[in-house]
Amino acid sequence: MIKKSEFLSGLPQDMFFGPMFDEEEVEAVSAVIRSRKVTQLSSSVVGEFEEAFADYVGAKEAIAVNSGTASLHTLLAACDIGAGDEVIVPAFTFIGTVGPVLQQRAPPIFADIDPDSYCMTAEDAARKITPRTRAIMPVDIFGHPADLDPIRELADERGVLSIEDACQAHGAKYKGVRVGGLVHATCYSFQESKNMTTAEGGMITTNDPERPLNKLFVEKDKDDTMISRIVAMAREKDIPIQYFDKNKLDALSQSRIHQGVILEVAAKEYVEVEDILDQAEEKGEKPFVLVLDEITDTNNLGSMIRSAECAGVHGIIIPKRRSATLNTTVAKVAAGAMEYVPVARVSNLVQTLRQLKEKGLWIIGADMEGQNNYYDADLTGPCALVIGNEGEGLGRLVKDECDLMVRIPMKGRISSLNAGVAAALVMFEIAKQRG
């Protein structure tokens, strides 16, 4: 065996193993230092680099961070992957892939690699998926891209994320296209040993559409100028704002790192009501819509989405305020159904019901005070089924817009069902009557 010292002594003395910087790069760094604008907030340089890098890899968006490890950790945290969530990683990789998963208290699940490429295979990843799986994370080991198409298809099919660790693969191509926008998101490193370096740094790229903003959660009574500016911007964009004490905010953040403000991003893009009706028309079916009146429990919303998909519902409508939103908890409970059921979010539910009436839909409210048992009513026509709040039921103004009120008869001592169960019963009765 040749010793390392002997190997190095046999190489040319002028051979250099570190990164190489020419005068143009030295001057660019010096210019930033001389400008005294050395942060991402004060300087435009980072933003320009993000745009240039996104263009280089063919991605719509790029976000710079301080390291490749941070890019993976940031992405996992942004996707709300946390304790108990499983992330599938290749059995052969650097610790930097697995470390961010463990930082989120998520168990890494190791998938076998291809013996030729040393990259994860979609076949074994499929065998490792469970109901707790949240993401599949292939690694472009040694700069060679994993077989990304079947991995992305698998992730889409199972309703999980595909996150590519391309920390060694700047400029690498998969089927003639540079990696960076071929899965849900891609992470890079600019550490000094990489083929593109900034001495240290990282980048996240994605081609996925921008997720809508659900809510802004703010710490109550916290006096902070930056938070005040954030709140003002949220109001300008009509983003609902909720104020909580610090303990509640800690619980929401999971990591307990929030600096007094948390922005909840939707786990899926919302659609327009017209999109739901168009889907029914394209299928040649009578519209079947589920309308939720202030359903605030995320588990109920998730279960309703799952039941709706199984019952053939064309789409769901929720109000913008006083309602659970499409967050990651809802996605988990929906068990993949959220990818197939379009959800519209409206400012005025009553007005929306009137618009549905104008389109020829029959508005059916489920309520304990309904005139008919749900299985005795004629539910065969184009309809919007309205389910009310878990505690209060349908609001008065919503009731006024209903053409028909149906009830679920109770035989026991408990006077009502869980909202998700009630919705499922009526949805499947509609599906049954329609054949």
267 versus 398: which is more confidently predicted?
Answer: 398
Six-digit token string for 332 = 């988990």
User: Where are the alpha helices (H) located in 10-44, listed in sequence order?
Assistant: 23-35
3-state secondary structure of 136: strand
Question: Which H/E stretch holds residue 202?
Answer: strand 202-206
Q: How does residue 308 score in pLDDT terms, banded at 50, 70 and 90?
A: very high
Q: How confident is the model at residue 56 (pLDDT cuts 50, 70, 90)?
A: very high
Taking 60 as the threshold, does the pLDDT of residue 256 lie above it?
Answer: no
Percentage of the chain modeled with pLDDT above 70: 91
Distance, in Å, from the CA atom of 419 to the CA atom of 260, rounded to the nearest integer, reads 33
How far, in Å, are 38, 103, 204 from residue 78 at the CA level? 25, 13, 11
d(CA 195, CA 166): 12
- Domain boundaries 273-434, CATH class: alpha beta
Among the residue ranges 215-219, 275-279, 285-289, 412-416, the one predicted with the least confidence is 412-416
> How far lies 211's CA from each of 76, 153, 225, 231, 259, in Å?
15, 20, 27, 19, 22
* Residue 410 pLDDT > 60: yes
Q: What is the 3-state secondary structure (H, E, C) of 225-286?
A: HHHHHHHHHHHHCCCCEEEECHHHHHHHHCCCCCCCEEEEECCCCCECHHHHHHHHHHHCCC
pTM over 0.75: no
**Parallel, antiparallel or unpaired: strands 404-407 and 362-366:** parallel
Confidence of residue 225 (pLDDT cuts 50, 70, 90): confident
Angle, helix 349-358 to helix 273-283, in steps of 10 degrees: 30
pLDDT at 7: 63
> For the chain, what are the domain ranges?
18-206, 213-265, 273-434
Give the C-alpha separation, 56 to 215, whole Å.
Answer: 33
Task: Measure the CA–CA gap between 184 and 155, rounded to whole angstroms.
Answer: 9
The mean pLDDT value for 198-205 works out to 88
Task: Tell me the HSE value of 234 on the side-chain side, using a 13 A CA sphere.
Answer: 21
pLDDT at 19: 73
The mean pLDDT value of the chain amounts to 86
> Which whole number is the average pLDDT over 196-218?
78
Four-CA torsion 71, 80, 94, 164, nearest 10 degrees: -70
Q: Are 409 and 373 in contact (CB under 8 A)?
A: yes
Edge-to-edge strand order for the sheet containing 86-90? Answer: 61-65, 202-206, 185-189, 161-165, 133-136, 86-90, 108-111
Which class would CATH give 18-206?
Answer: alpha beta
For domain 213-265, give the CATH number. 3.30.1330.30
Report the b/e string of 118-150 with b at 16+ CB within 10 A. Answer: bbbbbebbbebbeeebbbbbbbbbeeebbbbee
Asked if 148 and 179 touch (Cβ cutoff 8 Å), the reply is yes
Under a CB-based contact definition with an 8 Å cutoff, are residues 363 and 384 in contact?
yes
- pLDDT digits over 349-394, tens only? 999 999 999 999 999 998 887 788 999 989 999 999 999 887 778 8
Query: Per residue in 118-169, pLDDT tens?
Result: 999 999 999 999 989 999 999 999 989 999 999 999 998 888 889 999 999 9
